[in-house]
């Protein structure tokens, strides 16, 4: 039986990103997701929802592995979904679709075999509710797979410091205020009657060769972090660079290494 996924009237602000800029500056996110996908055995007829699908690269890879299934990528960004449809729908079979919606404002009719989300959950302003809804949408023994960066991630601290110093009116609107902690992820999943099969925290570093590279990496997802008007982006990013410097660990090759925390979650719905 097909799964029907529809977008509802948004209760959270719609965030748009520059899809072309994101593609060029999101290699880290793609590589991390690829490492996780390599270890997942998708049945060929699986029904999969990928929440926060971005430009669709990861979602399309899942669709290749479930040729007789149904894969839906969902994202709030109009430009991201537009690019995903333009790039992947013509070349794929009918098992792949993309839907523009916030993660908090969609409905599911039917049961999923897999619910996935890669490098997106930390942006959801109603993350706890989204997490609960995805768990409930899984069929018995259905699997939840999440790669996210929890509230403990230092990377967001210097960004919030920049907001608090010079952009105070936007500080309450940032994702920093609604990110779930590691304990909140765990408790929400267990409360939803899920069996945690993996729950791994990794303290890692991003690596860049120049501070300009750091700026462009952040620019790719800046409006997901805070809805800052575009004319303020450069001023904010310049201040973020100054705020991040105390956290930098320089490599022997003079690389700029900034700490962040990754959280990998795999859970299955109890039958």
Tell me the mean pLDDT in the region 153-181.
Answer: 96
Q: Across the chain, where does the E strand assignment appear?
A: 4-7, 47-51, 70-75, 96-100, 106-109, 112-118, 138-148, 194-208, 249-250, 256-269
Q: Which pLDDT belongs to residue 57? A: 93
d(CA 36, CA 137): 22
Tell me the mean pLDDT in the region 52-70.
Answer: 94
Q: Which pLDDT belongs to residue 93? A: 62
Q: Say yes or no to pLDDT of 82 above 70.
A: yes
pTM summary value: 0.92
What is the average pLDDT score of the chain?
Answer: 92
Q: Which pLDDT belongs to residue 32? A: 85
Q: Which pLDDT belongs to residue 253? A: 95
Percent of the chain with pLDDT over 70: 94
User: Is there a contact between 217 and 18 (Cβ–Cβ < 8 Å)?
Assistant: no
Q: Say yes or no to pLDDT of 2 above 80.
A: no
Tell me the mean pLDDT in the region 28-35.
Answer: 84
Percent of the chain with pLDDT over 90: 82
Say whether 113 sits in a helix, a strand or coil.
strand
**pLDDT band per the 50, 70, 90 thresholds, residue 31:** confident
Please report which helix (H) or strand (E) contains residue 93, including its range. Answer: none
Q: Which pLDDT belongs to residue 24? A: 66
Other Cβ atoms closer than 10 A to 51? 26
Q: Which pLDDT belongs to residue 27? A: 74
Q: Which pLDDT belongs to residue 25? A: 63
Burial of 55: CB neighbours in 10 Å, binned 0-12, 13-18, 19+: buried
**pLDDT band per the 50, 70, 90 thresholds, residue 204:** very high
Other Cβ atoms closer than 10 A to 91? 8
Task: Note the CATH number of domain 4-152+179-207+259-269.
Answer: 3.40.50.150
Q: Which pLDDT belongs to residue 83? A: 92
Q: Which of the pair, 45 or 91, is modelled with greater confidence?
A: 45
Q: Say yes or no to pLDDT of 16 above 90.
A: no
């Amino acid at each position: 039986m097909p799964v029907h996924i529809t977008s509802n009237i948004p209760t959270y602000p719609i965030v748009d990103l520059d899809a072309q800029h994101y593609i060029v500056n999101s290699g880290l996110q793609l590589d991390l997701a690829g490492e996780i996908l390599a270890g997942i055995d998708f049945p060929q007829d699986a029904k999969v929802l990928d929440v926060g699908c971005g430009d669709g690269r990861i979602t399309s890879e899942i669709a290749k592995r479930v040729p007789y299934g149904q894969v839906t990528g969902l994202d709030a960004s109009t430009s991201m979904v537009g690019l995903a449809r333009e790039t992947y729908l013509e070349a794929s079979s009918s098992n792949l679709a993309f839907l523009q919606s916030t993660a908090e404002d969609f409905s599911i009719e039917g049961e999923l075999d897999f619910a996935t989300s890669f490098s997106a959950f930390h942006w959801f302003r109603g993350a706890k509710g989204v997490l609960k809804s995805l768990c409930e949408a899984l069929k018995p023994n259905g699997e939840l797979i999440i790669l996210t960066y929890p509230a403990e991630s230092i990377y967001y601290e210097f960004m919030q410091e920049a907001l608090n110093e010079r952009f105070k009116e936007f500080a309450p609107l940032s994702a920093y205020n609604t990110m779930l902690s590691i304990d909140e992820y765990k408790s929400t999943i267990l409360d939803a009657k899920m069996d945690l099969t993996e729950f791994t925290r990794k303290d890692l570093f991003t690596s860049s060769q120049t501070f300009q590279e750091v700026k462009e990496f952040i620019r790719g997802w800046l409006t997901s972090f805070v809805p800052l008007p575009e004319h303020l982006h450069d001023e904010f990013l310049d201040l973020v660079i100054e705020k991040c410097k105390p956290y930098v660990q320089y490599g022997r090759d003079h690389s700029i290494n900034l700490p962040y925390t990754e959280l990998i979650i795999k859970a299955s719905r109890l039958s």
